Amino acid sequence: MTNPAAHLAFDGSGIDGSLFTTVTDFARDTRWLNTPIDLWTNAGLGVFAVLMLIGWWNARRRDTSAMTLALAAPVAVGFAFAVAEVAKKLIAEARPCYALPHDYFVDSCPAPSDYAFPSGHSTTAFATVAALWVLDRRLSVIAAAFAVFEGFTRVYLGDHYPHDVIGAALLAVPVAYLASRILGRVALPLVARLRTGALSPVLTAAPGGAHAAR
C-alpha cells in the first residue's frame, strides 16, 4: 500500500517510468543476479576509494601540484555529495516504489523522507570520475566505467529512476571538477610546506634506491 506521506513528494515516474519498469522487469527475469548486484551496489563504492588511493600513491612520485589534486579528490567528492543531498531535499522526489508499487523491486522501500533525485551512490561515483580527471585521466576512465555500472545497479535494484542517475552525473561532474581545480590552487602552498615537514613520508616517495643504501 502506498504511504500517504509519499504523495507530498514529487512523482518522477512520468519522466522515464516506462524505462525504469523495463530495467526492473529485467531484474525480475534475472533473479540469480539480484544478490550479487545488491551486494555490489554498496561494496562497489570502495572501488572509487581505491582509485583515489592509487592517485595519491602515484602522486607521491610527482610534483606538488599533483599531490594537491590527489588530496583534493576526496574533498571534492564529499562536497559534490553534500550538494546532491541539499538538492535531494529541495526537489523531494518520491522513490519509485511509491509511484510504481506494482513493479519488481530487489531492495525494500525506504522511508518517504528518503528521496530519490539525485542518486547519492551515482553522485559519489561520477564525482570521483571528475576529481580524477584533473589528476590522472587513466584512472578517471577506469572510474567512469565503474560509475556507469554503479548507476545501472541503482535502477536495477529499483532504488532510482534512470533520470536520478543522469541527474547525479550532471550535478556531480562539474561540482567535483570545479572543487578540485579550486582546491588544487588554494591548497598548493599548504601541501608544499607539508611535503617538507613531518608528513613528508606520506606525501613524497623516497628516491629510488634510498632504502637499499641504508
pTM of the full structure: 0.87
Mean pLDDT for 7-22 is 82
Domain count along the chain: 1
Bond before 112 cis per omega within 30 degrees: no
Q: Could you tell me the three cell numbers for 24?
A: 526492473
For residue 129, tell me if it sits in a domain. Answer: yes
Render pLDDT for 26-68 as a digit per residue (tens, 0 to 9): 999 999 999 999 999 999 999 999 999 999 999 989 888 999 9
Q: Residue 24 in contact with residue 162, Cβ under 8 Å?
A: no
Instruction: Report the CATH number at residue 152.
Output: 1.20.144
What was the pLDDT predicted at 46? 94
Q: Which domain holds residue 43?
A: 22-198
Instruction: Kindly state whether residue 204 falls inside one of the protein's structural domains.
Output: no
Confirm whether 14 is domain-assigned.
Answer: no
Mean pLDDT calculated for residue range 164-172: 96
The verdict on residue 120 lying in a domain is: yes
Distance CA 208, CA 213 (A): 10
Cell numbers describing residue 5: 506521506
211 burial (CB, 10 Å; 0-12 / 13-18 / 19+) is exposed
Helices 45-59, 137-156: axis angle to 10 degrees equals 170
User: Is 112 within a domain?
Assistant: yes
Judge whether 186 lies within some domain. Answer: yes
Is 115 a domain residue? yes
Beta carbons within 10 angstroms of residue 168's beta carbon: 31
Q: How far apart are CA 44 and CA 117, in angstroms?
A: 20
CA distance 146 to 112: 29
The size of the chain, in residues, is 214
Residue 213 clears pLDDT 50, i.e. is over it: no
- Tell me the three cell numbers of residue 146: 565503474
Confidence of residue 208 (pLDDT cuts 50, 70, 90): low
DSSP 10: B
CB atoms within 10 A of CB 189: 11
Per the domain annotation, does 64 fall within a domain?
A: yes
